[in-house]
Structure 1
């Protein structure tokens, strides 16, 4: 069952695109933004810099912005671990970029699109899920939905807009079973 607003999310560990693992634990930050994204999707690419700017703008308040590429790298080589690592090496990310090759975290969170944004508070409660803002083509939107949710959360207010429809490319699901370690 996918996470719903108000659910407590569990910490998880995924590999970084450039190597090594990262454990994401919401209790380590006043807010954690988890963005399921992609290297090839025009929607994810249109919103990409706005999400990076959120990461930079809220870093001094301790907000963690974690981006995860969930797509099947066999059918979508532009979303491969190697392609993702190149984007990291080229400085395209203002925070960790992870790969969910077995897609278990993606399924648990219920991500459907790239991008699909989730925000959790320090207790791990899911407080926002949806799009970064209202229009991927309008850079002046500045990831307004993410910013409004973070501003509410950091000010100790209930998040006024807790859910919007995610917009973007569908997650490219694996059709075969992946066995970790083989």
Structure 2
């Protein structure tokens, strides 16, 4: 499976959200920045970064930034990642962003996503400008490099991110086959 390269266009999708709506790439057309983050419920790495993702969305929403979480894990193998469990988690943590169910894993495969959490950040033209980790440490107090925050800041200033790619760190996506 090949990963979407830096500079590539966002790949269209249509997925159900835990809020009962269906989302498409076009749903976010008026946002300056779109961050697609492959995520899930059970991964300890996602859980370690969850509050930071929520904080980033709250901080940048008024600047035209949309973060979107997509869960592609096989709910048969991991019932904690089922659509119902996703709804419960989004409600429990008051997610300020859409949480989408990527079944049958077509969007994750199209993007070449492999881990949770794994970020694909797009500019207004929906060109991939950053791919990788949220920051450099799962422990918030030890973070030295704020990759996603710095990329968002750069894109809002119509500049390239200082770092455009980092290794995604986290659990592997749990594929159906």
TM-score class, shorter-chain normalisation, is: over 0.9
| Count of aligned residue pairs for this structure pair | 175
- Matching residue of 1:170: 172
CA distance in structure 2 between the partners assigned to 1:146 and 1:154 by the alignment:
12
Look up the SS of the partner of 2:34 in the other structure. strand
CA distance in structure 2 between the partners assigned to 1:115 and 1:18 by the alignment:
21
Q: Is the aligned partner of 1:124 residue 2:126?
A: yes
Look up the SS of the partner of 2:129 in the other structure. strand
**CA contact 1:36–1:113 (8 Å) conserved in 2:** yes
- Matching residue of 2:11: 10
Aligned CA-pair RMSD = 1.6
Note the residue ranges of structure 2 that are not aligned, 5 or more in a row: none
Equivalence map 1:31-50=2 (5 Å): 31-50=33-52
Structure 1: 4+ residue segments shifted above 6 A: none
Q: Is the aligned partner of 1:62 residue 2:94?
A: no
- TM-score under structure 2 normalisation? 0.93
Match of 1:146 among 136, 145, 148: 148
1:64-88 C-alpha deviation (Å, 9 max, x unpaired)? 1100111000000110001001112
CA distance in structure 2 between the partners assigned to 1:45 and 1:142 by the alignment:
19
Note the residue ranges of structure 1 that are not aligned, 5 or more in a row: 176-182
